[in-house]
């Protein structure tokens, strides 16, 4: 049996609070351990309940979701964060990821996708709203080229991370051991000086390494 993922919700809209609480209550592997209506309360509550994942609305009173993300992901808390918002753009997504977010979804995304995003964040895997990926690709038609130092293996790995694949799925696709994939991912994080897989996924889309569907 999979361990339960402890979830903190930082959201100031009572209707959104009720909706998220309702579908978490129906999901056996996810447990809602706290709800905060503003950014400062979210950070304080995280210190006491120690969640595995915080679902953070970008537009919070007090301190915004970007700053909440920065504080929650920093030691000693080191909480995984899934950001979500009603209205978002690719620049907001990049800011959240640079602050340490492990995923970025829209409130208009399906319940299934949001639940998948929580699980992905808990596992250290990136998930970005397909709607925002489309916007990112459209707005960056003249995108930067990836560094010439990237090998074909690096490019393929980035492509698969950008598609939201897990380490196990990447290992199967590339005929590698899962431990080898983890080593490659760690190496890319260091070489590209980014914090997590979500940042790698964003770079993959920015550099045009992920094919359009």
Examine the pLDDT at 37 and tell me if it is beyond 80.
yes
40 vs 163, higher pLDDT: 40
* Contact criterion met (CB below 8 Å) for 33 and 51: yes
Report the sign of the C-alpha dihedral through residues 41, 43, 47, 52, in that order. Answer: positive
pLDDT(197) > 90: no
Say yes or no to pLDDT of 137 above 60. Answer: no
Question: How much is the pLDDT for 2?
Answer: 66
Residue 91 has pLDDT above 90, yes or no: no
Domains of the chain in sequence order: 5-137 (3.40.50.2300), 140-206 (1.10.10.10)
H or E element that contains 91: helix 90-98
Percent of the chain past pLDDT 70, that is, above it, reads 91
Condensed to tens digits (0 to 9), the pLDDT of residues 41-81 reads 999 999 999 999 999 999 999 999 999 999 999 999 999 99
Q: What is the mean pLDDT of the chain?
A: 87
DSSP for residue 211:
P
Q: Over 130-188, what HEC string results?
A: HHHHHHHHHHCCCCCCCCCCCCHHHHHHHHHHHCCCCHHHHHHHHCCCHHHHHHHHHHH
Asked whether residue 142 carries a pLDDT value surpassing 60, the answer given is no
Q: What DSSP string describes 15-65?
A: HHHHHHHHHHHT-TTEEEEEEESSHHHHHHHHHHH--SEEEEESS-SSS-H
The contacts of residue 169 (CB under 8 Å, 6+ apart) are 160
φ, ψ of residue 85 to 5 degrees: the values are -155, 155
Q: Residue 82 has what pLDDT?
A: 95
Residue 156 has which token pair? 């393929």
d(CA 156, CA 184): 11
Q: How far apart, in whole angstroms, are the C-alpha atoms of residue 133 and residue 129?
A: 6
pLDDT tens digits, one per residue of 8-20: 999 999 988 998 8
Q: Cα–chain-centroid distance for residue 168?
A: 18
**Rounded to the nearest 5°, which phi and psi values hold at 130?**
-55, -30
Q: What is the pLDDT of residue 78?
A: 94
Residue 95 has pLDDT above 60, yes or no: yes
Minimum mean pLDDT range among 2-11, 54-63, 133-142, 160-169: 133-142
Run of H or E including 84: strand 80-85
208 vs 22, more confident: 22
Of 74, 75, 56, 53, give the one whose Cα is nearest residue 65: 56
């Amino acid at each position: 049996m999979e361990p339960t993922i402890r979830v903190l919700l930082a959201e100031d809209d009572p209707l959104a609070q009720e909706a998220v609480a309702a579908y978490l209550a129906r999901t056996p592997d996810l447990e809602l351990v706290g709800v905060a209506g503003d950014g400062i309360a979210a950070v304080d509550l995280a210190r006491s309940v120690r969640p595995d994942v915080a679902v953070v609305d970008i537009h919070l009173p007090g301190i915004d979701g970007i700053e909440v993300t920065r504080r929650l992901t920093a030691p000693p808390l080191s909480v995984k964060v899934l950001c979500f918002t009603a209205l978002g753009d690719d620049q907001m997504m990049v800011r959240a990821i640079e602050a340490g977010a492990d995923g970025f979804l829209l409130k208009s995304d399906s319940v299934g996708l949001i639940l998948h995003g929580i699980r992905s964040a808990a596992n250290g895997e990136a998930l970005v709203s397909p709607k925002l990926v489309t916007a990112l690709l459209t707005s960056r038609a003249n995108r930067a080229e990836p560094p010439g130092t990237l090998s074909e293996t690096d490019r393929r790995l980035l492509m698969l991370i950008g598609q939201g694949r897990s380490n196990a799925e990447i290992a199967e696709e590339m005929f590698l051991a899962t431990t080898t994939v983890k080593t490659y991912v760690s190496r890319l994080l260091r070489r590209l000086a980014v914090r997590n897989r979500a940042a790698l996924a964003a770079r993959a889309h920015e550099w045009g390494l992920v094919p359009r569907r």
